[in-house]
Amino acid sequence: MEENKMGSMKINKLIMTMSLPIIISMLVQALYNIVDSMFVARVSENALTAVSLCYPIQMILVAVACGTGVGINALLSRNLGLKKQKDANQVALHGLMLSLLNGAVFAILGLLFSKQFLSLFTDNPEILEMGISYMQICMVFSVGVFVQITYERIMQSTGNTVYNMIIQGVGALTNIILDPIFIFGYFGVPAMGVAGAAIATVIGQMVAMILGIVITKYKIKLVQLHLKDFKLSTTLLKSIYRIAIPAILMQSIMSFMTVFMNMILVQFSTLAVSVFSIYYKLQQFVFMAVSGITNAIIPIISFNFGAKHKQRILDAIYFSLKLASIIMILGTIVFQLFPEQLLYLFDAKADMLAIGIPALRTISLSFVFAGISMILCSAFQALDHGQNSLIITLLRQMILLVPCTYVFAQLFGLNLSWWSFVITEALCCLLSLGYLHTIKAKTILTIKEA
């Protein structure tokens, strides 16, 4: 059995070598989300609105996939750190079973409730028709993204993140190539508009899923996946979801926040909803870079927590905080200097620029605070303090942010309402640092070195 580098490689080098491929793959992921919207925006403004209204549900779907993946990732890494090979294999097999079940559940929900959800926001028949088509296609074939993400987390648990970059890169490239073909109709393919964008997306996910299966089978030696060895364990499922549920809720909260924000913003105009959706797609370039680090440190900290390597845990946390802060500072500079150019990517006219420029400049002032909270939330999950992560995320994306935005919007208007992001992230950053101080004293420093 080959040695797991997460217990031996120098921590700074380990984080860089594990996080860089994930960052690149996530940036590619963000790119194809943006390309998707850029193509759809050129169909019509209603088409962009339809896709924007579907975005929260897509976020929930990905939240369930990634949140479950966090549970699989942390538990698998911990068992590898404890050298419990059979338990590690069972975690991976249970993860694959859960990905298939989750895909089936979302397919049913998409078929039954897409119209009811979209009707909450619009009665425009054109927007409804396009939105229902887009949402149903993405949800019915969601098994691709569920299985893909599970295989990515299995690879991350063994320190093999370069394969993640390859999988996501190929999936994203497939989507980018197919988008204009299916949306506008080239090479004999009929123009399908918004439905074409959805078809290109799910094909990209399926291609990535198949690639993940093949790479794991032939390249990942630390975990052996043989279906004949699968033994259903409710205890193991509870262990996975004890970590996964806070992670799912943390990522789902953003979706619910987007729904409530849309309800606040639609009072000003549907264009304000589109601007907010565009902002979220643009900020993914910055936030997904930090998410790449958080994806890397969860298995690193979990492995060393299981292996009782106290100093490696502390080194991983502090180096990640420095790295995330640098990324967020660079992101803030770009949003401050080039908001107009960023909005032009989406064919922005004068009325969109009037809303979008102050939005991008103001919200970007919160980036550094958000980066610190994101890193610490992932560290808390890896150390079995998922409840602290959940509290911070609830405050960041719902309990503080939504009421604050509503009050600011009512009292000061749309442009000043964006300051709610800065205030919320600053307060939650301070709380995260307070939690770090407590968890360091009670959990990390009490570890007896192996």
Q: What is the DSSP string of 308-352?
A: T-HHHHHHHHHHHHHHHHHHHHHHHHHHHH-HHHHHHTTT--HHH
Structural domain count, the chain: 1
The number of C-alpha atoms within 13 Å of 121 and in the hemisphere containing its C-beta is 30
**Residue 61 pLDDT more than 90?**
no
**CB 47 within 8 Å of CB 193:** yes
CA dihedral 390, 245, 376, 220 (to 10 degrees): -170
Compute the 3-state secondary structure of the chain and give helix, strand, coil in percent, each to the nearest 5: 85, 0, 15
Question: Model confidence at 33, in pLDDT bands (50, 70, 90)?
Answer: low
Question: Is position 423 within any domain?
Answer: yes
Average predicted confidence (pLDDT) for the chain: 86
pLDDT of residue 120: 82
Q: Model confidence over 292-305: pLDDT tens digits?
A: 898 888 888 888 88
Greatest mean pLDDT among 36-40, 100-104, 114-118: 100-104
Provide mean pLDDT across the span 42-57.
82
Question: Is position 2 within any domain?
Answer: no
Question: Is position 449 within any domain?
Answer: no
What is the spatial distance between Cα 89 and Cα 216, in angstroms, rounded to a whole number?
13
What is the spatial distance between Cα 148 and Cα 205, in angstroms, rounded to a whole number?
7
Provide mean pLDDT across the span 339-365.
86
pLDDT of residue 287: 87
Question: Is position 125 within any domain?
Answer: yes
**Residue 1 pLDDT more than 70?**
no
Question: Model confidence at 32, in pLDDT bands (50, 70, 90)?
Answer: low
Structure tokens at 194: 């918004």
First-to-last C-alpha distance (Å) of the chain: 21
**Residue 415 pLDDT more than 90?**
no
φ/ψ region of 159 (left if φ > 0, alpha if ψ in -120 to 50, else beta) reads left
Structure tokens at 143: 């098994």
Question: Model confidence at 373, in pLDDT bands (50, 70, 90)?
Answer: very high
The three-state secondary structure class of 187 is coil
Question: Is position 273 within any domain?
Answer: yes
For 318, other C-beta atoms within 10 Å of its C-beta total 14
Structure tokens at 47: 């088409």
Question: Is position 116 within any domain?
Answer: yes
Q: Model confidence over 259-290: pLDDT tens digits?
A: 788 888 878 877 788 788 788 878 888 888 89
**Residue 160 pLDDT more than 60?**
yes
What is the spatial distance between Cα 431 and Cα 89, in angstroms, rounded to a whole number?
37
Question: Is position 292 within any domain?
Answer: yes
Question: Is position 450 within any domain?
Answer: no
Question: What predicted TM-score, i.e. pTM, was given to this entire model?
Answer: 0.69
Q: Tell me which H or E stretch contains 145.
A: helix 143-157
Torsion over CA: 94, 389, 292, 20 (sign)? negative
Answer with the residue of higher pLDDT: 189 or 429: 429
Provide mean pLDDT across the span 110-120.
89
Provide mean pLDDT across the span 406-428.
91
Provide mean pLDDT across the span 230-254.
81
**348 phi/psi in degrees, rounded to 5:** -65, 135
Q: Model confidence over 170-196: pLDDT tens digits?
A: 888 898 899 899 999 888 889 898 899
**CB 23 within 8 Å of CB 293:** yes
Provide mean pLDDT across the span 37-59.
81
pLDDT of residue 6: 65
Question: Model confidence at 450, in pLDDT bands (50, 70, 90)?
Answer: low
Range(s) of the domain holding residue 368: 8-444
**Residue 206 pLDDT more than 70?**
yes
